[in-house]
Amino acid sequence: MDRSERLGQIFSLLESSREPLSGAELAERFGVSRQAIVQDIARLRDSGCPIRATAAGYALDRQGCGMRRLLAVRHGPGEIREELLTIVTLGGRIIDVIVDHPVYGELKGNIDVRTQEEVHRFVNLLESTGRGTLSSLSGGFHLHTIEADSAEALDRIEAALGEKGLLGR
């Protein structure tokens, strides 16, 4: 299989998958190195394919699939799981986390979780690294881009976070 054929197949897999696909999984499937997959993803992006890299792998960015809202939240590291579970349980998808750093300015990390299983996997990965969160750089204050099917769902998510005392104080 030549590279152009592989690029087409990678795009088709991403397009049909509801879950992110890891670089290692794609490398094994196509019998190439993970580095070859990284280069393939870069080439697809350069050609205009909206591909996001997440902690769980590569995913096609399906912007416009729902309504989005930027929510300001603040909490300690022990409340991350509760925050994310609240959002996904009410039908939301956490796109990213954004903090304002005094030296570097805006720092953004992809999260891309929409199910309880993905939340647990993300938080377990975060805890297993022993590294701090982006929000630890800003005293726990951070922003999330949240996506849901309707404005009403976003309102319910925001209200629930407020009731739990997790909105930016």
State the Cα–Cα distance between residues 165 and 75, nearest whole angstrom: 8
**What tens digit of pLDDT does each residue of 80-101 get?**
899 999 999 999 999 888 887 7
Residue 32 within a domain: yes
Helices in the chain by DSSP H: which ranges? 3-16, 23-30, 34-46, 80-89, 116-129, 151-163
Domain count of the fold of the chain? 2
Token output for 60: 């096609």
pTM of this structure? 0.62
Taking only the tens place, the pLDDT of each residue in 96-139 is 888 877 788 788 888 889 999 999 999 998 888 877 776 767 67
Instruction: Decide which of 155 and 3 is more confident.
Output: 155
pLDDT confidence band for 75 (50 / 70 / 90):
confident
Asked if 157 and 91 sit in the same domain, the reply is yes
**CATH of residue 21:** 1.10.10.10
Q: Is residue 148 pLDDT above 80, yes or no?
A: yes
Same domain, 75 and 151: yes
Whether residues 153 and 106 share a domain: the answer is yes
User: Residue 34's pLDDT is what?
Assistant: 92
Tens-digit pLDDT profile for residues 5-56: 888 889 889 888 888 999 999 999 999 999 999 999 988 887 777 888 888 8
Q: Domain range spanning residue 73?
A: 67-163
Asked if 132 and 78 sit in the same domain, the reply is: yes
Domain for residue 168, yes or no? no
